[in-house]
């Protein structure tokens, strides 16, 4: 952690190019602008992101033009787009001594991008989605960030990366120093083994177990998916201690005696194998090859996931809970009746 709270001083006279205007790109660009920095957004001319960034009051340019004369270039596009973006727009146009900043170390760590030796290469990774990064900044707060220095060509990389982190609000919360390898490998492991892969497959297995045993799909959905948020919120707010404080003793006893039978030593051993595949580059090679081949297997797996019966059951139930989706465009497909659900078997 940093000893003193960093400021944006090192970038106050700098030009910052933010490439990409998705969730993180928009939040970073707006926060940096509101922190008094000179920001230009690099996106495809006349595309939806171009119009959105202009409507938000930001300067826009084609990526190659945004990079020219930039003192710091933040690459906030999807991972698989970044190598071509670097080759086409960044490498030919970045000036010596400029800083190239990533929010995830995947492409540098797994050598999909080999940055020029005459530029700084740094990382700032907020531990939250872009909407949260923006919202907390507007409140005068911030989201904790990881930061790393991979290459210090200018001798000023640390000043630049800390100034950027301060500009998006991270220094208001907490900055933790890491390296590209640690950030990349732990991020991928968390997604695959716990947050996305582990959690969703656990939910589906629990749903199938209850439905196959003859219980109503709607009740199974509530017990293994809907109520998961209640537990996650408790863990998020106060760790295991808060969860135990707010669940019943019956739930606590079931947790402590049955949980180890679901996630046991064999589960941990399989997690270790997943981590091994991340560390030795096998996952990265597989994902890059899949993307370059057209994503056929990826799309098939995703479509199968979305075709699971829990999705249709969930859409109907969420339509009865409008508070879950207050934005009409995001609301689930409504059911044909508002009558109470009745057990049919």
The count of C-alpha atoms lying within 13 angstroms of the C-alpha of 298, restricted to the half-sphere facing its C-beta, is 10
Residue 23 labelled as part of a binding site? yes
Of 28, 104, 109, 150, which one is the catalytic site residue? 104
Q: Report CA-CA distances (Å) from 109 to 104, 121, 272, 294, 318.
A: 9, 11, 20, 23, 40
- Is 223 in contact with 202 (CB distance < 8 Å)? no
Residue 282 labelled as part of a binding site? no
Q: Which among 109, 81, 115, 110 has a CA at the least distance from the CA of 292?
A: 81
What residues form DSSP beta bridges with 121?
100, 151
| Cα–Cα distance for residue pair 120/85, rounded to 1 Å | 17
Residue 130 labelled as part of a binding site? yes
Residue 227 labelled as part of a binding site? yes
Residue 191 labelled as part of a binding site? yes
Residue 218 labelled as part of a binding site? no
Residue 21 labelled as part of a binding site? yes
- Is 51 in contact with 76 (CB distance < 8 Å)? no
Residue 281 labelled as part of a binding site? no
Residue 24 labelled as part of a binding site? yes
- Catalytic site residue 104? yes
Length in residues, the chain: 345
In the chain the beta strands, taken as DSSP E runs, fall at 15-19, 38-42, 59-61, 72-75, 99-102, 120-126, 145-151, 175-177
Distance of alpha carbon 326 from the chain centroid: 22
DSSP states of 235-283: HHHHHHHHHHHHS-HHHHHHHHHHHHHHS-HHHHHHHHHHHHHHHTTHH
The count of C-alpha atoms lying within 13 angstroms of the C-alpha of 143, restricted to the half-sphere facing its C-beta, is 21
DSSP states of 82-102: HHHHIIIIITTTPPTT-EEEE
Q: How many CB atoms lie within 10 A of CB 124?
A: 23
* Residues contributing to the annotated binding site for substrate: 248
- Catalytic positions are 104
* Residues contributing to the annotated binding site for Mg(2+): 187, 191, 223, 227
* Residues contributing to the annotated binding site for NADP(+): 21-24, 44, 49, 130
* Residues contributing to the annotated binding site: 21-24, 44, 49, 130, 187, 191, 223, 227, 248
């Amino acid at each position: 952690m940093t000893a003193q709270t960093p400021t944006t001083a090192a970038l106050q006279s700098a030009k910052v190019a933010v490439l990409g205007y998705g969730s993180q790109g928009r939040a970073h660009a707006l926060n940096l602008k509101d922190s008094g920095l000179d920001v230009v957004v690099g996106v495809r001319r006349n595309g939806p992101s171009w119009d959105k960034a202009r409507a938000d009051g930001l300067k826009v340019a084609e990526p190659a033009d945004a990079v020219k004369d930039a003192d710091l270039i933040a690459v906030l596009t999807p991972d698989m787009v970044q190598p071509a973006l670097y080759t086409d727009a960044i490498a030919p146009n970045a000036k010596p001594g400029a800083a190239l900043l990533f929010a995830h170390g995947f492409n540098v760590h797994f050598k999909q991008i080999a940055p020029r030796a005459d530029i700084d290469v740094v990382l700032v990774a907020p531990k939250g989605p872009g909407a949260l990064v923006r919202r907390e900044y507007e409140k005068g707060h911030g989201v904790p960030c990881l930061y790393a220095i991979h290459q210090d060509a200018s001798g000023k990389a640390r000043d630049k990366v800390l100034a950027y982190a301060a500009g998006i609000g991270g220094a208001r919360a907490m900055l933790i120093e890491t390296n590209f390898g640690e950030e990349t490998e732990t991020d991928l492991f968390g997604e695959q083994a716990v947050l996305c892969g582990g959690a969703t497959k656990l939910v589906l297995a629990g749903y199938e177990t209850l439905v196959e045993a003859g219980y109503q799909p709607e009740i199974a959905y509530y017990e293994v998916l809907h109520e998961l948020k209640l537990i996650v919120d408790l863990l998020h707010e106060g760790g295991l201690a808060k969860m135990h404080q707010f669940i019943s003793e019956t739930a606590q006893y079931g947790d402590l005696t049955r949980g180890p039978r679901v996630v046991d030593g064999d589960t941990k051993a399989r997690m270790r194998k997943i981590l091994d595949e991340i560390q030795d580059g096998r996952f990265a090679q597989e994902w890059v090859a899949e993307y370059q081949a057209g994503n056929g297997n990826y799309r098939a797996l995703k479509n199968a996931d979305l075709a699971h019966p829990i999705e249709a059951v969930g859409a109907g139930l969420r339509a009865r809970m409008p508070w879950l989706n207050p934005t009409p465009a995001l609301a689930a497909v409504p059911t044909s009746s508002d009558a109470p659900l009745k057990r049919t078997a």
